[in-house]
Amino acid sequence: MRRSILLVALLLIAIAAVPPAPLAANTRAGTPVLFPETGHTLAYGFREFYERQGGLPIFGLPLTEVFVEDGRPVQYFERARLEWHGNLGQTQAGHLGRWAAEALAGHPAFAPVEAPPPGSVRFAETGHSLGGAFYEYWRAKGGLATFGYPISEAFEEQSAQDSKAYTVQYFERARFELHPESPPAYRVQLGHLGRQLLAARPAPEWATRPVAAASQAWEGLRPSRVRLPRLGVDTAVVSAGFTLGQWDVPRHTAVHYWPIAGYPGTVGNIIIAGHVGYRGEIFNRLPGVQPGDEVLVSAGSQERRYVVREVLTLLPEETWVMAPTRDEVLTLITCVPIGVYTHRLIVRATPAS
């Protein structure tokens, strides 16, 4: 796959064929960063979502590295848990408000209301109202995508952080707290539900351990190597997005497309592309692949085994192979025929187990 082609035509069609939210990401937005305050990283789709939806004031500092929980990649922050839904190809904030509300089952504030208080808006989806400073904050700071629907009315609750009583309201993904003594910009604050859930449901020790460099982001989950033993294919894999209408495919390694791809051991479409055409190039032998061949993908300290189920030769516009999948699927992409590059060779594999 020569850089002059580099799936440019594929990208132009993919923008229309794949849901737009994941493709809002690009290489610059997803570049890993390290927060020295906690020694944890933020990268790829999580960084793109974090910055787009309000950043530090909304989510707080990262408390863990990315690890698998409930079958999907997650990362804990002081006020939230971000989740990568590979079957949808998008990042979402976890429903920590619903989790925290379980301890308050039966509280009158969680009973739906028929008529909202004056000046409030009622959400039919949950039967709860939202008004005043809480409504203004909800609307200004990300609304439904960041906080979800209200699942309670406003009521007074003692804080687990400082033992003081505050007016609070629960949402699917957050808990709002009213701090009238604070300056106007800080009168509505978010509860540390990420800290609370992490204390109640500890992450693996390695995920809570601070790291030394931003380059260690997603180190336990992202593909780092792909091998096809029968063909002698053995190449490193890097994670990348795309910039200015061109997919980023390194010359001497394969690439895992983080804006849309799944991760080994979780649901979703693990998309890895690589060049052919150069002497000794990484996917030069891939056209010899056959159904039943073994594919080994390294991620963290694990090597996951896949079996090739089908081999396809498609036109560049046939981008359905890059769409999210409900189950774990591995998709390898290169260009054929070598020297002509008019078609795409697609190798689809599924977990051996």
- What does the pLDDT read at residue 246? 54
What are the structure tokens assigned to 64, written together? 């863990």
Q: In angstroms, rounded to a whole number, what is the distance separating the alpha carbons of residues 223 and 281?
A: 19
- What does the pLDDT read at residue 116? 86
Tell me the HSE value of 57 on the side-chain side, using a 13 A CA sphere: 12
- What does the pLDDT read at residue 117? 87
Domain boundaries, the chain: 8-24+218-351, 33-208
Q: Residue 160 to residues 147, 196, 345: CA-CA distances in angstroms?
A: 20, 9, 56
Residues 6+ apart with CB under 8 A from 279: none
Distance of CA 159 to the CA centre of its chain: 30
- What does the pLDDT read at residue 243? 58
Beta pairing class for 254-257 and 233-240: parallel
Max Cα distance, the chain (Å): 73
Secondary structure (DSSP) of 194-241:
HHHHHHHSPPPHHHHS--S-GGGTTTTTSEEEEEETTTTEEEEEEEE-
Residue 287, judged by CB atoms within 10 A of its CB (0-12, 13-18, 19+), counts as middle
Tell me the mean pLDDT per 10 residues along the chain, length 353: 39 32 55 97 95 94 97 97 95 96 94 90 96 95 94 91 88 95 91 95 96 96 96 92 62 86 96 81 90 97 96 92 95 90 95 91
**pTM, full prediction:** 0.88
Q: CB–CB of 267/325 below 8 Å?
A: yes
Q: In angstroms, rounded to a whole number, what is the distance separating the alpha carbons of residues 52 and 219?
A: 23
- What does the pLDDT read at residue 279? 67
Q: In angstroms, rounded to a whole number, what is the distance separating the alpha carbons of residues 136 and 140?
A: 6
Tell me which DSSP letter residue 171 carries: B
3 state SS of 339: coil
- What does the pLDDT read at residue 16? 30
**Superfamily of structural domain 8-24+218-351:** Sortase (2.40.260.10)
The b-or-e profile of 184-209 (16+ CB within 10 A means b, else e) is eeeebbbbbbbbbbbeeeebeeebbe
